Amino acid sequence: MLSGNWTGCSTVPSRTLYPHQWSWDSGFVAIGLRHLSPVRAQRELESLLAAQWADGRVPHIVFNPDVPLTAYFPSPDFWRSSDAGDKAGAPAAVETSGIVQPPIHALAAWLVHQADPVASERRGFLRRLYPRLVAWQRYLTDRRDLGGRGLAAIVHPWESGMDNSPCWDPPLARIDPAATASFQRADLDHGCATDRPTDLDYGRYVRLAEQYRDHGYADDASQHRFAVEDPGVNALLIASEHALADIATALGADPSDHQVRAEELTTALVKGLWSAEDGLFLCHDVIAGRSIGERSAAGLLPLILPGLPDDISATLLATASGEHFGLDGIARLVPSYDLKGHAFDPCRYWRGPAWFNVNWLLARGLRQHGAAERADTLRATLLGAAAESGFAEYVDPFTGAARGSRDFSWTAALTIDLLAEVSR
């Protein structure tokens, strides 16, 4: 199916629902592809970063001009990146979205390099990507520190990757939705309405994107009506600083800047988003100046980090297996949202279903913090669920029943990575 979703330079998440290149999808796809074709995995990341903006941002969608505008919304004529994003340095030769997704890319690049260092060195893979990856990190740490707390903020729910999480409900309540008649959703042509965001939520997503576009995609803190520090985004930001330190070392450069930044970001993450009462990290609404009291799987993702205080990592391990997320208990896979939360829905997009990339990251986190047996169990469950569901986009966390698209690229790619891990 990865071959079926390959376009010649990148991999679409799904031929039907997602017919373009998505940012963090390509990161996860490259991680899996490295076991089959390290060079193709390199090309996956190279094609994405070729669409990077001059200000450093990596757009969340790179549009294929051969795909009809009606195949996906918001389409290139909505984002108008080469025009509206001109002052922010949007590329003129390719159309993209104007928002971003979680920064998995430096970690992916390092893992891809390690799969075949000889081929990587021959193609100059790390040497070419390193400055782009650094610019991407600096965009997030500098331009997106909207709260002045040393953490990156997202300015649209889609930037979190967890698009429809209940964590966004409180800040989204401030947003007047775009009129339903003003846009045509393409996602409902390929999926069940009960699995997808409501029209009200989608109208708010559209309104936010319109406002960002109409301000030239400028990251002026005063003009944003949605600004949230998300623990998942910041955990991957920190993991990428660790990866950049490894990349710098491999290139014969000084890694200390990345090491210091990783330490400083970890300190800011713990200080700004850790909730001992809830036993996980919470999102922070920058505009309202307060934490968002919803438990999301994003709050567990800092487990991937090596520099967490021992008491926090121990608490996260306990929370993952407790009543709110059910790992090793009532849930087959960790849900995207609190099993006991008021908005939990095992079917609706990011409001309860289990996702393969999130559980793959958590398996790495379990292993990182000494829970190897639990990581092995989660890996086995992921492999079974992927095959049984037809490599679905996401699944019911209790039953493993398929939801969303089938033949989903990152599900297939991460399955390959998990199988390679078993064979080592």
* Cβ neighbours around 346 below 10 Å, total: 21
* DSSP secondary structure letter of residue 139: I
Per-position pLDDT tens, the chain of length 424: 798 999 999 999 999 889 999 999 999 999 999 999 999 999 999 999 999 999 999 999 999 999 999 999 999 999 999 999 999 999 999 999 999 999 999 999 999 999 999 999 999 999 999 999 999 999 999 999 999 999 999 999 999 999 999 999 999 999 999 998 888 887 777 677 777 889 999 999 999 999 999 999 999 888 899 999 999 999 999 999 999 999 999 999 999 999 999 999 999 999 999 999 999 999 999 999 999 999 999 999 999 999 999 999 999 999 999 999 999 899 999 999 999 999 999 999 999 999 999 999 999 999 999 999 999 999 999 999 999 999 999 999 999 999 999 999 999 999 999 999 865 5
pTM for the complete prediction? 0.97
Look up tokens 């950049």; give the residue. 244
Q: What pLDDT does 400 receive?
A: 96
Q: What pLDDT does 324 receive?
A: 98
Q: What pLDDT does 385 receive?
A: 98
- Which residue numbers are catalytic? 163, 393
Closest C-alpha to 265, from 142, 167, 104: 142
* Cβ neighbours around 341 below 10 Å, total: 18
What is the rounded CA–CA span in Å between residue 333 and residue 348? 16
Contacts 24+ apart (CB under 8 A), 285-289: 285/170, 285/171, 285/227, 285/228, 286/146, 286/147, 286/153, 286/221, 286/227, 286/228, 286/229, 287/171, 287/174, 287/224, 287/225, 287/226, 287/227, 288/170, 288/171
